[in-house]
Amino acid sequence: APGDSVWHQRPVSKELWTEGFWPGILWYAYEYSKDESILEAAKGYTEVLEFLSEMPAYDHDLGFVMFCSYGNGYRLTGDERYKEIILATADRLAELYNPAVGTILSWPREVPAFGGHNTIMDNMMNLEMMFWAAKNGGNKSLYDVAVRHAEKTMECHFREDGGCYHVAVYDTLSGDFIRGCTHQGYADSSLWARGQSWAIYGYTVVYRETGDKTYLDFAVNIADMIMSKVTTDDAIPYWDYDAPVLEDTPRDASAAAITACGLLELSTFAPEGQKYFDYAEKILKSLSSEQYLAAPGENQGFVLMHSTGSLAHGSEIDVPLNYADYYYLEGLQRYMKLKGIEYKNL
């Protein structure tokens, strides 16, 4: 919270969606620095999460938690044990898939509150682990689950203008779409900023993994919508595009960082790729300015300031968040790769 000068660490838990980001940050930091002490820390903070691959999924966040940690860990070490854990986790996540609906149940515990099978836009981010598992020795049907989830979400979860609801509620038995609503946004039909970021990142991944041009066109549409809705000069959005803007309306740097990652990948596929690259570059430059970057030593090591976790719940407003840092680092890495900048030249 603003003014805090100490870390808030908690024991690992099946209920924390953010606990894969810190190991993920350490993996990116190790990749950059090749520092052995960071490698040891990355392994340690990753391996405490293994229990999640061995129990029924608490919710869809399993993908965030395990792919940012073990996924990066496997990418950088090739440790076969990590791979087995990812494959097991992808199977656990697939247990939340409801074939009558065609999507993964995001929050089993919220079924009574929403009155049906609920799927949130954030869930698009967890398809990448399923695609990866299907391609790397896991259950091949995970590919079909991921594609069907993306297809049904595309059909039901979006408004005419290309923006999305946060939550879609479906009839558990018939699979019919009941309604779109919000959990963390300003209003049911408003554009919660981070939700739009999950959408652009998620659908770009679906195009990468399927090669189906429908998803490329869809991702382009989301990207254009985001770029048309952002009203700030520095391209860092307010927490919800439709919330009234007052003097103290907070930004969400995390939404910007996630969008930058999505746009950078999209720029490699889309006919007008340069436009998306340029916008992502603008976001990264803003995030790298004094306005957003914590001064060295501030925030106990967090990199970015000015993110918003859930204003709708009065929680984590205008604060540093570990997922903002994670996607900022990922965005910088994507940017450097596309520009041909090597770490050793820095």
User: What amino acid positions are annotated as catalytic residues?
Assistant: 61, 122
Q: Give the other-Cβ count within 10 Å of 301's Cβ.
A: 13
Tell whether the torsion through CA atoms of 191, 192, 198 and 200 is positive or negative: positive
Shortest CB 141 distance to ligand GLY, Å: 25
CA-to-CA distance for 176 and 216, rounded, in angstroms? 26
**Nearer to ligand GLY among residue 87 and residue 205 (C-beta):** 205
CB of 111 to ligand GLY, least distance (A): 18
Q: Which residue is nearest to ligand GLY (CB)?
A: 122
How many residues lie near ligand GLY (CB under 6 A)? 4
Q: Which of residues 270-309 bind ligand GLY (CB under 6 A)?
A: none
Give the shortest CB-137-to-ligand GLY separation in angstroms. 28
- Residue 194 Cβ vs ligand GLY, minimum distance, rounded to whole Å: 5
Closer to ligand GLY at the Cβ: 82 or 241?
241
Q: Which is nearer to ligand GLY, 17 or 177 (by Cβ)?
A: 17
Using an 8 Å Cβ cutoff, are 166 and 181 in contact? yes
Strands 97-98 and 117-120: unpaired
Would you tell me how many other CB atoms lie within 10 Å of the CB of residue 123? 29
With CB under 6 A as the contact rule, the residue among 12, 14, 16, 17 that binds ligand GLY is 17
Q: Taking a C-beta distance cutoff of 8 angstroms, is the pair 326, 336 a contact? A: no
In the region spanning residues 152 to 191, those forming contacts with ligand GLY, defined by CB under 6 A, are 184
User: Which residue do the tokens 């609906």 mark?
Assistant: 101
Segment 114 to 133, residues that bind ligand GLY, using CB under 6 A: 122
Are the C-beta atoms of residues 22 and 301 closer than 8 Å to each other?
no
Q: Would you say 166 or 334 has its CB closer to ligand GLY?
A: 166
* Residue 346 Cβ vs ligand GLY, minimum distance, rounded to whole Å: 31
Give 240 or 281: the residue with its C-beta nearer to ligand GLY. Answer: 240
Q: Which is nearer to ligand GLY, 134 or 304 (CB)?
A: 304
Residue 249 CB, shortest distance to ligand GLY, in Å, is 18
Residues 324-343 that bind ligand GLY (CB under 6 A): none
Q: Is the dihedral of CA 228, 234, 236, 242 positive or negative?
A: negative
Phi, psi angles (nearest 5°) of residue 167: -120, 135
Sign of the dihedral defined by the CA atoms of residues 31, 37, 43, 49, in that order:
negative
Place of tokens 């919800």: 240
Give dist(CA 10, CA 107) in Å, integer: 22
- Calpha distance 276→223 (Å, rounded): 8
Mask of contacts with ligand GLY, 193-222, x by CB under 6 A? -x----------------------------
User: Which residues in this chain contact ligand GLY in the complex, by CB under 6 A?
Assistant: 17, 122, 184, 194
